[in-house]
Structure 1
Amino acid sequence: MISGTGTEIGKTVVTSAVAAAALAAGLSVAVLKPAQTGVGPDEPGDVAVAARLAGSAVTTLELARYPEPLAPDTAARRASLPTVSPAEIAEAARRLSLSHDLVLVEGAGGLLVRFDEAGHTLADAARLLGAPTLVVAPAGLGTLNSTALTAEALRTRGLVALGVVIGSWPADPGLAARCNLADLPAVSALPLLGAIPERSGALAPAAFRTAAPGWLARPLHGTWSDHSFLKAWPA
């Protein structure tokens, strides 16, 4: 499961990078988007971004699409469309896992965004699957609190948190971003597993695939080192 601490912080690019790194490591990969919001019927969604950046070898699946950029349950209600339940998400992921080494499930917004009328969230799907969750966080001021809250929500629910990836690392990071490199693991009790350079999603797909393993740590099939990164960006 790939969840953010909020919206518009780089989840899709992180998902694409993890997919690209896993493919480079020789794994077969599927990307599942349970609910795509804010996209019209003929517009490319997040799974299309993953396929473009990581490559056509990635299998993609979108379960539901809603036109307005809102939480999935709100967007579904306003469009008079069915919601997606945790059981449907888990079943789709299980089907994909039968023919793929790695299935990445990209959430919508943060961990506790509602998917249906009963208030179920991505955390409920993670529980059904027994799947670890990767937390995507922004680099700058304010990220410590939201990342700590997300980590606490995962632990409270008995879920496994894999670690944190910074979704968009600035080319010229300020003091807060540089301090957060050391502080994020301390406040969340989760390892820092990567940092995606800002505007990486605008790279040519071939360049993205080549660079992706260097943005991610070994548990995500990459070569990135938190120790080296902290040395390169001292606070």
Structure 2
Amino acid sequence: MTTAAIAALALSQRRRVAVLKPAQTGVRPGEPGDLADVERLVGAGPTLRELRRYPDPLSPEAAARRSGLAPLGPVEIARAATELDADHDLTLIEGAGGLLVRFDERGNSLADVAWALGAPVVVVAEAGLGTLNATALTAEVATKRGLNVAGVVIGSWPDEPDLAALCNLEDLPVAAGAPLLGVLPAGLGAAGREDFLAGAGRGLSPWFGGQFDPECFAGSASAQK
């Protein structure tokens, strides 16, 4: 949903957008995957490319091993991203499971792709308990590998946030060492295209072309609670 929201805002600004999904796992041939959700929510505007599809809902490396299909390496991913970027204003690369989830038996991951491309990293975090540790670990690894963590987005904000979620609005940027760049509401993926674009605008910061203000959102969320 975060990838689709960023793409929707960029398309609304008449930017040429490409979305690359290097490895789609847990989906069989002919079934809709993540890129189908992007197209459903933003229309036929972006160029969509999927490099590998594995039927088992596992890491790309494990799914490739079990299926007998060819694994995916960072060179192939970086080459595809570079080709797309030559003809687009914005190329979004969506990972599978996290920054260090293995693509192949050598342990190559999305972190290696980001480093090879010099691309900024946006961390998509959960709202509640457990998210601070996962976010901090991701950011620490990214920083040690010389990656630029642009910010963090909460990918699904509950209708009735608990105390942990409310506190995480302040604590997540600290854990990430980067600003809170957006909060997307739960259920946004069920919206029609116009409502999805409006929700993306409200939920993502001006860094993406939206109107999200973390201080205003935190104050509003706390008041509702």
TM-score by length of 2: 0.97
- Counterpart of 1:227? 215
- Check if 1:119 corresponds to 2:107: yes
- Check if 1:169 corresponds to 2:162: no
- Counterpart of 1:84? 72
- Counterpart of 1:6? none
- Counterpart of 2:201? 213
- Counterpart of 1:160? 148
- Counterpart of 2:169? 181
Q: What SS does the aligned partner of 2:153 have?
A: strand
- Check if 1:106 corresponds to 2:106: no
Instruction: Count matched residues.
Output: 223
Runs of 4+ in structure 1 displaced over 6 angstroms? Answer: none
Alpha-carbon distance between aligned partners in 2 of 1:179 and 1:25, rounded to the nearest angstrom: 33
Q: Over the residues paired in the alignment, what is the CA RMSD in angstroms?
A: 1.0
Q: What SS does the aligned partner of 2:96 have?
A: strand
Letter in 2 for 1:26: R
Letter in 2 for 1:49: D
Deviations 1:16-61 (A, max 9, x none): 0000011112211110000000001010111111111122101100
Q: What SS does the aligned partner of 1:227 have?
A: helix
Unaligned runs of 5+ in 1: 1-12
Once the 2 structures are TM-superposed, how far is the Cα of residue 95 of structure 1 from its aligned partner?
0.4
Once the 2 structures are TM-superposed, how far is the Cα of residue 173 of structure 1 from its aligned partner?
0.4
Kept in 1: contact 2:24–2:52 (CA 8 A): yes
Alpha-carbon distance between aligned partners in 1 of 2:46 and 2:39, rounded to the nearest angstrom: 6
Structure with higher RCO (Cα < 8 A, 6+ apart):
1
Alpha-carbon distance between aligned partners in 1 of 2:176 and 2:99, rounded to the nearest angstrom: 15
Q: What SS does the aligned partner of 2:219 have?
A: helix
Once the 2 structures are TM-superposed, how far is the Cα of residue 233 of structure 1 from its aligned partner?
1.7
- Counterpart of 2:21? 33
Q: What SS does the aligned partner of 1:31 have?
A: strand
Alpha-carbon distance between aligned partners in 1 of 2:3 and 2:57, rounded to the nearest angstrom: 20
Alpha-carbon distance between aligned partners in 2 of 1:186 and 1:134, rounded to the nearest angstrom: 15
TM-score by length of 1: 0.93
Structure 1 window deviating more from structure 2 (46-55 vs 133-142): it is 46-55
Kept in 1: contact 2:18–2:46 (CA 8 A): yes
Alpha-carbon distance between aligned partners in 2 of 1:30 and 1:52, rounded to the nearest angstrom: 15
- Check if 1:47 corresponds to 2:35: yes
- Check if 1:198 corresponds to 2:213: no
Once the 2 structures are TM-superposed, how far is the Cα of residue 213 of structure 1 from its aligned partner?
1.4
Structure 1 window deviating more from structure 2 (33-42 vs 19-28): it is 19-28
Deviations 1:120-141 (A, max 9, x none): 0000000110000100000001
Letter in 1 for 2:78: A
Kept in 1: contact 2:188–2:199 (CA 8 A): no
Alpha-carbon distance between aligned partners in 1 of 2:181 and 2:14, rounded to the nearest angstrom: 20
Deviations 1:126-173 (A, max 9, x none): 011000010000000111111011000100100010100001001110
Give the % identical residues. 54
